[in-house]
Structure 1
Amino acid sequence: MTHCHSRIEWVWLHWSEYLLARDEFYRWFQKMTVALEPPVELQLGLKEKQWQLSHAQVLLHNVDNQAVLLDRLLEEAASLLNRIGDPSVDEDAQKRMKAEYDAVKAKAQDRVHLLERVTQEHAHFQASVDEFQLWLKAVVERVSSCVGHKSQLSTKDRLSALQDSVVATIQEFQRLKAKTSRLCNAADVQLWQRLQRPLQDLQLWRALAQRLLDVTASLPDPPSIHTFLPQIEAALAESSRLKEQLTILQLKKDLLGGVFGQERAAVLLEQVATSVRDRDLLHNRLLQRKSKLQSSLAQHKDFGAAFEPLQKKLLDLRIRIQAENGLQRDLPGKQAQLSRLQGLQEEGLDLGAQVEATRSLIQDNPNHQHKMDQLSADYQALHRSLEDLMDRCQQSVREHCTFSHQLLELRHWLAVLTQKLEAHRGYLGPWDAQSREAEAERLLAELPEKEAQLPLIEALGRLVMEKSSPEGAAMVQEELAELAESWGALRLLEESLQSLVRNQQLQRTEVDSGKKMIFTNNIPKTGFLITPTDLISRHHRRARPLLREGEGSHEDFSQLLRNFELWLQVENSKLVRIIAMKAATAEDLRTRETKLQELEARVPEGQHLFENLLRLGPARGSLDELEDLRYRWMLYKSKLKDSSLLLTGSSPGEPTGFQKTPRGRGLGAFCRKVCC
């Protein structure tokens, strides 16, 4: 443990020393960069140029001395990288440090080479001038000595001796003059080009800055901003460097006038002033664009932090809604699905409030506005889809509740009635006309009324099957089949009980043969009851003369019978279509209600036609048709009444069942219902 602690302390000390050395190196690098950044100043004399060269050589020597420190830093960085793996000392950082040092060294070497060349040229020129001056002085002395010397040679001879020397000297002077002129011109051109270089760099910078301003006028997304923002910052740094160089030129107005003349210096300074003004304008525009991009980036960050979670929530909500867009097997599954959809609806409303709250972060950004509009449109579409799905689910739950309630009620009634009829059929003792037969008639009188509910239950079952899964549809089909089987068994029990009642009535008829009104098989196989005046067996009807033959002809009765049958068939078809209609919305319910009211309004018309048939009286052989038609008329009115009661008890948004149909109270009440 102590050993590990010591190693950690050693690495920490090693890291601290490296940071101190690196900071010292970068301070030296910054200082050297500032020293080498200004261009080489122009000097008049050779001594000044030699001093300037000596200073540059000192700087280069300083740069060379820093190579040792740099090598140590690189070694320490490699060692720390192996130990701690910090990215600030990786290979890229080391290469970057080496490249920065090489750049400073190259700049120092270039400056030394330039100053050496300038100093050598100036020294060569100064040596030539000194040599010429020495020669000229020697010639002057020789001429003076010749003039003052009392020589026997004549002046012509002495001048002739000096002529060749003077000519050679003049030629050498002309050569030196030409060379000096060439050197001055070359230095002038080179110096002028060097002074023009900041202006040329500024022209290139202006083109780059203008292109950046054009490109960044409208950036669509943060990646583009991250791409161009560093370029703008680099352009601003280059602008500051160019301004420093141009400012130095403006400060050396007198020197430029002395070197190039006042006219050329004025032209150069005017160009510099114009370039500085243009640079200031572009620099300010770049600063504004940088501030705008930074602000836009901050807005993007705030907007993205709020927008992306909303987008994810919307996508998650869409996936969950799509997962609920399926058919369920039974009523509990549909109710659970409806509960889940209601929870999703609450989440959707909360998401809509968050979407509206996020609009405050747009701040006139077209890109953000487009994204928010798209998100809002997607949310509205998803909200409408969820509402439609909930409406369909609510309608399916209502229909399934109604079907289950009515089916359960009818099954219970079938079980109770079957049990009671079984009890009556199993009674083997003598029948009491005032008790047993009345009770059997009361029980059997409920059959037509309940039979009218069968088409409604079947229609509801078909609707439930359409809105259930295949397994659920098979279950509903099985329930309907079981109901039909139970109803068939009840019909068989009804026929058996009718036969038993008929036998008891025949036995009483033999005892009381003097009576004219007998109780025959008043319950046909279809479950219909007739009045006591019509309850005569068919055997007696064949022997009985026609009592109402004079009240109407056979043709009139047949025509009225066909007319009523046709009218009843049309009305019953309309009722069946209305029952089979899908009522998904309140508008559909109102439409069904209107159509049922129209059918109810035409019931008095049908009753009037039926009463005309009764007044005219049936022709011979038509009594069975009249009984069948009377049952169908009663069944139609019962079915119409149950449909109206079902519609009255239903409302959109609430699952409701069928209203309980009032049961007939005995044989007399049921006969009044049929004949009225």
Structure 2
Amino acid sequence: MTQQLQDEFDSSVENAEAWMKAIQERLRINDNTKGPRSALEARLRETEKIRALEPEGSLKMDLILVKADAALHSIGEDKKHEVLSKLKDIKALWEETAIYITHCHSRIEWVWLQWSEYLKVQDEFYTWIHNMRVTLEPDIELQLGLKEKQWQLHHAQVLLNDVLNHSGLLERLLEEADSLCSRIGDPSVDEDVQKKMRMEYEGIRDEAKRRVELLEKITKEHERYSTNVNRFQSWLSDVIERFNCCCTGETTKSSAEDKLKALKEIAKNVRSGGKKWKHLENQCAEVIQNTSPLGAERMKDELEELRKALEKLSLLTSEEEERLLKIQQLQSAYESQARQLEANIQELRKNLQRLENDLDPGEEEKTEDEFVTLWRKCNATRTALAAEEPKVERLKTQLKELLRFPQDMHLHTESVVSAIQQYQSVRGKISKMSTDTESQLRRLFQNPLQHFEQWKPTVQMLLATPEPDLAHIEAALAESSQFKEKLMTLQLKKDLLNDVFGEEKAKSFLQEVAEASKEREILHKSLLQSKSKLQNLISQHKDFDAGFAPLQKKLSAIKAKLDLEKEPRPDLLGKKTQLQRLQMIQDELTELVIQMEEVEKLVQSNTAHRHEMNQFSSDLQALRRSLEIMIQQSEDQVQKHWVYNDKLSDLQQWITVTMEKIESCQSAEGEQNTEGRAADLEETKISHGKANEGEN
């Protein structure tokens, strides 16, 4: 049995060795890249078949390994070396065969692919050669004009660039052909084929260069002619423009003698233009030879139009001399009216500049009172600007009267337009500043209400908390007092709100403020109750004396504060500050009442304490009534002082505007201007009087 296993192993090794050597022989026969493409393809197919047999070799090796394993388990140690040696040799032979299969097939396949890619690129190259030959073969077509010739030249340059860009492709093809030639030795890629490819490319390249050079010559010749025509047209336009300056009055400041001199110079230039035109005619004859018939006709027509224009200019030059005498007669009247127009323009500009300078808002941050002052100043300036509108219309009328003169109105028109634009600019600036200021005032007035609406949910959430923090309650109370002051201040500005918002919107806004004040009062009382409850929880272990003494002390302190506020204040700021302090004292009394109510709970069964609490309550109510009277009186004083300040500001603005107009009247010259200034002052006085009546 042991001998049989060893024989089977030896037989499998011999069988596999014979198969591998047969495969290597077939590979050796096909391991060659030389020869025609059909032979290379046949060798490629043969190596593909051999590579397909590689799994068979793997099976043979697997069989050998199985037989070797069986033999090694059954034979003695003295014969194992022989089996292992044969196993090692057959493994090496199989590895060599497998590598040979892969390398041989890959080498032939790579040469096949390289050849295929070369043939594909070669076909594309020869297709391009054919297309370029078809494109360059026809003769150059005559074009209509310069633009068409430039397009034709550009197209030829594009073709040349395409040809030059293909030189790289040619070089790569030649390198590839040379590489293939060394590998396959086929005549289809030998040196003669490479030379033929280069010669065909160079023929295309030379033809493309020749065409570009010819078209460049034709185009440059036409460009020179076109440049000369443009220069002649520019010269002719310049002469016509100089002539038109004399005809249309653009040189009316000069004398008739100067104009006649200018006309003679123009006539001299016109005569020299005849020689220039003749040179163009000779040059045109050369360009026409390389131009299409229709283009040649257009060039001839263009030259003829230039000749006619030159003759017409010569005729008009002689006729213009007769017109100069009439210009002299109108010159004097024109200058007088022009001076008057410029004087009126300067006067208007001066007034507009003064109004604009008075309205510099500055860049610094402004208080509410400063915004109110600026807003009133804008309104006063708009009234003063409206008085300048008749002067603008007067300028337009004067300009229309000047238009009947033959002189150039360009400068006067620009001056009038500039003055009107300055007027419109100042009006727009004043309107924008007034609108912006009004928007700022509206924002400032609406801010407290908006902030209150943002603050209210926070307080409601705080009150809804089962055990709020005492510090949060006290902070909310402080903010509530601030809101009370701001909302009360808004209610005192009814007249100003009517001016800024309008009566209807101001009424609606004040209603919102009043509703917010009521909501704030409710929230404030709720906060005080919450605070008192918290404090009661903290101090409920203390007796009545410990709770009553602070009440008496706080009541005394409030009385002392109230006594200090009985003295009247001289100005609006002092009165407003005093009102705010009284309102803060009112909040303290409200808080004291709540604290008193909490202390009263401790004296239900104590007669002596009840008497003290009744006396304290009586004193507190008396102090509260006295405080309410003082607050009402203070509010009335603030409202009256506020109205007084508004009217005083209006009067100061009116006095400023009136003083500026008086100064302007004093600096004006002529009886007519003085009467006009007086009329303006009277109108301003009447309009201010009506405005004051409306306010009253």
User: What is the TM-score normalised by the length of structure 1?
Assistant: 0.30
Q: Which of the pair has the greater relative contact order for Cα pairs under 8 Å at 6+ separation?
A: 1
Select the structure of larger CA radius of gyration: 1
User: What is the TM-score normalised by the length of structure 2?
Assistant: 0.29
Q: Larger helix proportion, structure 1 or 2?
A: 2
